[in-house]
Structure 1
Amino acid sequence: MKLKDHIIIYVLLLFGVSVFSQQAKLKKADTLFNQYAYVKAIELYKELVQDNYNKDYAIRQLADSYSFLRDPRNASRYYKQAVRQANIPIEYYYNYAQSLRGIRDYRESRVWLKRYKDSGGALKTENYGREGNFVENIKNAKQEYFLNKVRFNSKYSDFGAFEHDGKIYFASTRDEGTSVQRIYNWDEQPFLDVYVIDKDAKKVDHHSKLKGEVNSIFHDGPVALTKDGKTMYFSRNNVKENIKGSDKDGFNHIKIYRATKKGDRWINIEELSINNDNFSVQHPALNEDETKLYFASDMPGGYGGSDIYRVDIYEDGTFGTPENLGPIVNTKNSEGTPFINGDGTLFFASDGHEGLGLLDIFGTIENDENKIIDVLNLGEPVNSNSDDFSFFMNPDGLSGYFSSDRRGGRGSDDIYSYYRIPLLHVEGVVTDAINNRPIPYSEISLLDAKDKQITKIVTDDYGYFSINVDRNSDYKIIGKQKKYIDDYRVFTTRNLETKTQIIKTDLLLNPLQDVVVLAELKSLNTIYFDYDSHIIRKDAKVELDKIVNLMNNEYPNMIIRIESHTDSRGSLTYNDRLSIDRANATYQYLISRGIDPKRITEHKGFGKRRLTNGCEEGANCEESDHQLNRRTQFIIVKME
């Protein structure tokens, strides 16, 4: 055999060994991937890409691995390469769009979402694109959640926090201070345990672990607690006597267990009847009266990856049949970490409804029959471009916790504390003053304290209107409709309790009688006062006598109200008193001329809050301009 032949054989042998080595590496990477050991699988797939062995497949696996690790930055990097491959499954278009949302590239995300849909893909939820430019709508919405610092996060994963009886319960993968750490292959962090600390605690270590039998050597948490603090529901791996249970494919699922408290220890661990070895049941939550347990599950018959369910808890502690909450809540993707607040509103996390990134937190909207009719994204800062989940609200409705793996945190998942200033709105019904029927399609104008129009809307079929307003402000709202006399109300949002969300302000419109009445009403002038005085002037008496004549002789059923004002000079308190004196003087004058007091519904003073011009305190105005603000006006409430 010639030397050349020896060389050829040697090269072929080397090539064969190399191919065999690469095949073995790919097989090992896939085994790790299928065992959810994504961190280790990524290392091998990267080597395969570098060696140019089955590169397209390895790139797709890298993209999916990073996606499962909730790392959109790296996932988008590899999905970008994957979608350029020939004959790529269109599902990768959708996955790429989702990863782009995770890095706030919303414009490009919409491009690939459209490509996915145009290629025949069914969107995970019909909500996508329903509200046009969703992200801009969310970012422009008025903020009602504000963040506080949390001092007990770690460099590991911390989530599922809630308060009970002065203590905070949460789940964490921290396991510092122990001699042996068991590592979860998925993300190579320790397994979850349940911790409990005092609300004002700053230090958390292994001594803070829940005492008793809830914590095992595998995943435990998050948890839900009954109001009396004696019963705990918690998620845990399917484990019996520290041995994992598995389905037919060897996969270990999550189940919900129940524990009872004896002294300071949690014992008597009991598996719930709703569990199954072949699917996961997790994330327990109780409704207000503790008659229903809400949870997440990927049981057969659902809408997607995992759905929100609820099940009746009977008085004897047994359970009914789980009920899926339906397609308004659940999507073809995943929903989880449910929570029910004191008002019965369901909050949950989802990556199927339209959101700002990966998992977002949503709240449900119910009709008068307590039926869920829609879901609402909680917006920023509760939601971000990352995973946001495990929402909890204290009984006051104004504070609580949620969890997120957003940038800027301390660890993998972090716990965030929030306080809430609920949105405030004025609502009411526009009604015909004669027959008390609602007036549909009435024009409603909202004005600020300077009579500058803020917004204009139209009432619905039932004369109803609702407008968002700011706190600590003064407003005027005017109702108009053809063939009716305008009506208005003034109201303030100052000094309201934080939990107040609605100000009721109904409007009554009186039908116009005829053209003559209109002319007469327009001839009723505003009356004016001298500076720092509430004495009725001679010119004012002339106008007041016109009103007396009209009410006594022409329109004996007409009802009015009196509103008095001051100019801007002097303190707010003093001017409030002065305007009340002017209203009283006007009222007394009309009564002294024979007007029945019942025909004057109100005589109120508004001080300097409603100036008619720009003559605010300190402004350089002529005396004639200040005079225009020292006035009393007459509003017709009813006229037949």
Structure 2
Amino acid sequence: MKKITLFIFLLTAFFGYAQEKKIERATKRFNQYDYVNSQEIYQKVVDKGYESGDLFKRLADSYYLNAKYDEAATYYGKLIEQFPEDVEPEVYFRYATSLRATKDYALSDKMMARFYDLGEDDTRAVLFRKAPDYLREIEKQKGAYDVSITQINSGYSDFGSALYKDKLIFASNRDTGGYTKRVHKWNGQPFLNLYQVDTSKVGQEGGTKFAKPFSANLNTQYHESSPVFAKGDSVMYFTRNNYSNGIFSKDSTGTNQLKLYRASYKNGAWGGVKELPFNSDNYTVAHPALSPDGKKLYFSSDMPGTLGQADLWYVVINDDSTYGEPVNLGNSINTEGRESFPYVSAANDLFFASNGHPGLGGLDIFLTNLDATGEDVTILNIGEPANTSKDDFAFIIDSETKTGFLSSNRGKSGIDDDIYMIRQLRRPEPLCEILLTGNVTDKNTEELLKDATVALYDDKNNLIESIVTGRKATFEFEPECDAKYLLRGSKDGYTTVEKRVSTPNLSGEIQEFLQLERAVQIAKPGDDIAKILNLNPIYFDFDKYYIRPDAEIELAKVLVYMETYPSVRIDVRSHTDSRGNDEYNRTLSQNRNVSTRDWLIAKGINPSRLSGRGYGESQLVNECSNGVQCSEEQHQLNRRSEFIVLSNN
């Protein structure tokens, strides 16, 4: 029995040692970007029942980095559930991204919330926290583009289009019938070359047979992809492995990086390939794009100063064909994730692929205008169907015809990239939401007015919506952005109030407060009807006591009030300014008082309801007493009438 036990122990130890050696070999390949071979080994070890946090992470990463998001999500999930102590913040981000690719947005958001808690300074976390309704924002862009599959796809990877004269130039690792086939260890597929096809053939059935190699002088046994052509079509920039003059170079870890190259068209052929001076053996520079004027070259790189896995950069192209220093586009665009495949339209719109900004899964295509700066920078996810839960990238468009191309692995295999034709139906616009809120109060008492009607009208006086206020007297509307409205408040017994409201073209909240006045207010003894009715001052000309026409209008309001409330008794009080003799002013104010009461009596008010006298200059409302220099306007404030309620029953 002991022999059997010892044998089992030795066998287990030997087998465990064998698995460790397999994992060690896989890890070495993983660190050299040999994801396919490492993935195969890791998967076999896991299938045999061996589990560890590091094993699950490397297996998940190998799937994630080859856009196999379903499998990546499986093993990131196992890692988080079984080995939480081995989980770094980045795992939550990659798990969330993988879950979006499977359309499990609810769980993805939970993982992003956890990612935010662990790395709240990470740009990707901040962007997620700032846009909790990112799916609704993306939904608004739905239908901005029409997308259809082209007929030039090969069953291998086809992507990264550029328009050149009447041709579409793209990268493909299609089988061209050669005797040898070099395979890239990252994804286990042949290396890429540049191909061309007439644009008239891309939608034609069997169009793949029209695709031909672009240039024998440019294509090599390694990668060539993502070309862009300068004005005049005699200069092109493209991506290639670090391979020049027959030399295949690697960095200190044994990795061959990508670089940018420039080629020129002379004597009917492409040639004169030159490496750009800001390349390096130690980092990748790839996916070129040109500004509309051809003076800036944009690209993706992980060079020093990069915020994340890859950032977008640009260099100035000088008049003598030299280049300025690389400039990072900044953290409004770049994240700790991957930004790549830039394209700049004639309208100076920058389209790029990113997995760092909130999206539908994998790489999504985003849009920003390069003319905007600072707080005006807006990053838009261009929505479905241009974007999907898979990798979508390499967007180009002709601003005049509104047609173009994008690349995606949305096909049945979910692995190989295909080229799709796009047609712009409308320009994507920022999600703009306006919340118009406020409350309704009594202007004089500031009492909250329940059961008031608040209505919103457009600029053509068409009713959009109306509400009746509740106990808190509040109202809320969601008007359109960048529009003009009329806000109207009304309530029985109150005068109607209207306000003009203009909404901005950016999301935000607008507050408007409606203050209603009683149409005819019930006054208490001691109240001044002039204030209740908001009368304009009843002025008399200097040294006169006859009723002016403008004073008649104000007295008419007092008349109507007394007719409405026949039990009200009023004491009319008349005042003068300080100019003139004190005794004379008392006489003048008394005459004005009599004139005021006589006017009301002449209009039908019973004399018994009126009393009053003139106070001269004895009750000034300001400092303009005898000997004080004052303006005419200041003196006029003292020439006034008051209508004090004595009783209302």
TM interval, short-chain normalised: 0.5 to 0.7
> Which residue is equivalent to 1:237?
241
SS at the partner of 2:60?
A: helix
- The answer on 1:295 being equivalent to 2:292 is no
Read off the aligned partner of 1:234 and give its amino acid letter: F
- The answer on 1:246 being equivalent to 2:250 is yes
Read off the aligned partner of 2:180 and give its amino acid letter: V
- Alignment check: 8 A CA contact 2:458 2:486 kept: no
- Alignment check: 8 A CA contact 2:456 2:465 kept: no
Q: For residues 24 and 228 of structure 2, what CA distance do their matches in structure 1 show?
A: 41
> Which residue is equivalent to 1:309?
313
> Which residue is equivalent to 2:446?
none
Read off the aligned partner of 2:154 and give its amino acid letter: S
- The answer on 1:282 being equivalent to 2:286 is yes
Read off the aligned partner of 1:113 and give its amino acid letter: M
- The answer on 1:373 being equivalent to 2:377 is yes
> Which residue is equivalent to 2:66?
69
SS at the partner of 2:318?
A: coil
Q: For residues 369 and 185 of structure 1, what CA distance do their matches in structure 2 show?
A: 41
Q: For residues 368 and 60 of structure 1, what CA distance do their matches in structure 2 show?
A: 40
- Alignment check: 8 A CA contact 2:102 2:389 kept: yes
> Which residue is equivalent to 1:148?
148
Q: For residues 409 and 106 of structure 1, what CA distance do their matches in structure 2 show?
A: 22
Shift of residue 59 of structure 1? 2.0
Residues 444 and 145 of structure 1, relative CA distance in 2, 3 Å threshold: farther
Residues 121 and 370 of structure 1, relative CA distance in 2, 3 Å threshold: closer
> Which residue is equivalent to 1:466?
482
Read off the aligned partner of 1:363 and give its amino acid letter: L
Shift of residue 57 of structure 1? 2.9
- Alignment check: 8 A CA contact 1:148 1:417 kept: yes
Shift of residue 407 of structure 1? 3.8
SS at the partner of 1:204?
A: helix
- Alignment check: 8 A CA contact 1:384 1:406 kept: yes
Residues 243 and 235 of structure 1, relative CA distance in 2, 3 Å threshold: same
SS at the partner of 1:466?
A: coil
Shift of residue 131 of structure 1? 2.7
Question: 1:336-347 residue pairs with structure 2 within 5 A?
Answer: 336-347=340-351
Shift of residue 200 of structure 1? 1.9
**Unaligned residue ranges in structure 2 (runs of 5+):** 433-454, 467-476, 490-495, 502-518, 520-649
> Which residue is equivalent to 2:23?
26
Structure-2-length-normalised TM-score: 0.64
Equivalent in 393, 411, 416 of residue 412 of structure 1: 416
Structure having the higher Rg: 2
SS at the partner of 2:96?
A: helix
Shift of residue 146 of structure 1? 0.9
Q: For residues 340 and 424 of structure 1, what CA distance do their matches in structure 2 show?
A: 15
> Which residue is equivalent to 2:37?
40
Q: Which moved more, 1:201-210 or 1:254-263?
A: 201-210
- Alignment check: 8 A CA contact 1:46 1:58 kept: no
Post-superposition Cα deviations, 1:242-278, rounded to whole Å, max 9, x if no partner, equal 3321112221111100111134421111111111111
Read off the aligned partner of 1:138 and give its amino acid letter: I
Q: For residues 410 and 111 of structure 1, what CA distance do their matches in structure 2 show?
A: 25
Equivalent in 75, 79, 93 of residue 76 of structure 2: 79
> Which residue is equivalent to 1:503?
none
SS at the partner of 1:139?
A: helix
Counting matched residue pairs gives 456
- Alignment check: 8 A CA contact 2:380 2:428 kept: no
Shift of residue 150 of structure 1? 0.8
Question: 1:396-435 residue pairs with structure 2 within 5 A?
Answer: 396=400, 398-408=402-412, 412-423=416-427
Post-superposition Cα deviations, 1:403-436, rounded to whole Å, max 9, x if no partner, equal 11114479611111111122599x9xxxxxxxxx
SS at the partner of 2:109?
A: helix
Shift of residue 371 of structure 1? 8.7
- Alignment check: 8 A CA contact 1:211 1:264 kept: no
Residues 123 and 10 of structure 1, relative CA distance in 2, 3 Å threshold: same
- Alignment check: 8 A CA contact 2:64 2:72 kept: yes
Post-superposition Cα deviations, 1:612-633, rounded to whole Å, max 9, x if no partner, equal xxxxxxxxxxxxxxxxxxxxxx
Read off the aligned partner of 2:332 and give its amino acid letter: I
Read off the aligned partner of 1:96 and give its amino acid letter: Y
> Which residue is equivalent to 1:504?
none
SS at the partner of 2:29?
A: helix
- Alignment check: 8 A CA contact 2:261 2:274 kept: yes
Read off the aligned partner of 1:101 and give its amino acid letter: R
Residues 35 and 72 of structure 1, relative CA distance in 2, 3 Å threshold: same
Residues 309 and 484 of structure 1, relative CA distance in 2, 3 Å threshold: farther
Read off the aligned partner of 1:316 and give its amino acid letter: D
- The answer on 1:88 being equivalent to 2:86 is yes
Shift of residue 239 of structure 1? 0.8
- Alignment check: 8 A CA contact 2:193 2:223 kept: yes
Read off the aligned partner of 2:482 and give its amino acid letter: S
> Which residue is equivalent to 1:14?
11
- Alignment check: 8 A CA contact 1:337 1:348 kept: yes
Q: For residues 72 and 424 of structure 1, what CA distance do their matches in structure 2 show?
A: 27
> Which residue is equivalent to 1:213?
217
Residues 356 and 401 of structure 1, relative CA distance in 2, 3 Å threshold: same
> Which residue is equivalent to 1:99?
98
- The answer on 1:359 being equivalent to 2:363 is yes
- Alignment check: 8 A CA contact 1:147 1:416 kept: yes
Superposed CA RMSD in Å reads 3.3
Shift of residue 356 of structure 1? 1.1
- Alignment check: 8 A CA contact 2:405 2:420 kept: yes
> Which residue is equivalent to 2:580?
none
- Alignment check: 8 A CA contact 1:162 1:400 kept: no
- Alignment check: 8 A CA contact 1:171 1:193 kept: yes
Equivalent in 45, 51, 65 of residue 48 of structure 2: 51
Q: For residues 331 and 44 of structure 1, what CA distance do their matches in structure 2 show?
A: 32
Q: For residues 184 and 411 of structure 1, what CA distance do their matches in structure 2 show?
A: 15
- Alignment check: 8 A CA contact 1:365 1:376 kept: no
- Alignment check: 8 A CA contact 1:365 1:372 kept: no
Read off the aligned partner of 2:117 and give its amino acid letter: D
Q: Which moved more, 1:173-182 or 1:222-231?
A: 173-182
- Alignment check: 8 A CA contact 1:155 1:410 kept: no
SS at the partner of 1:127?
A: helix
Equivalent in 249, 252, 257 of residue 261 of structure 2: 257
- Alignment check: 8 A CA contact 2:60 2:75 kept: yes
SS at the partner of 2:86?
A: coil
Residues 390 and 110 of structure 1, relative CA distance in 2, 3 Å threshold: same
Read off the aligned partner of 2:11 and give its amino acid letter: L
- Alignment check: 8 A CA contact 1:216 1:242 kept: no
- Alignment check: 8 A CA contact 1:176 1:205 kept: no
- Alignment check: 8 A CA contact 1:362 1:375 kept: yes
SS at the partner of 2:200?
A: coil
Question: 1:151-190 residue pairs with structure 2 within 5 A?
Answer: 151-190=151-190
- Alignment check: 8 A CA contact 1:366 1:372 kept: no
Read off the aligned partner of 1:217 and give its amino acid letter: Q
- Alignment check: 8 A CA contact 1:236 1:255 kept: yes
SS at the partner of 1:113?
A: helix
- Alignment check: 8 A CA contact 2:251 2:281 kept: yes
- Alignment check: 8 A CA contact 2:224 2:240 kept: yes
Question: 1:233-632 residue pairs with structure 2 within 5 A?
Answer: 233-365=237-369, 373-396=377-400, 398-408=402-412, 412-423=416-427, 445-446=457-458, 453=464, 466=482
Residues 115 and 457 of structure 1, relative CA distance in 2, 3 Å threshold: closer
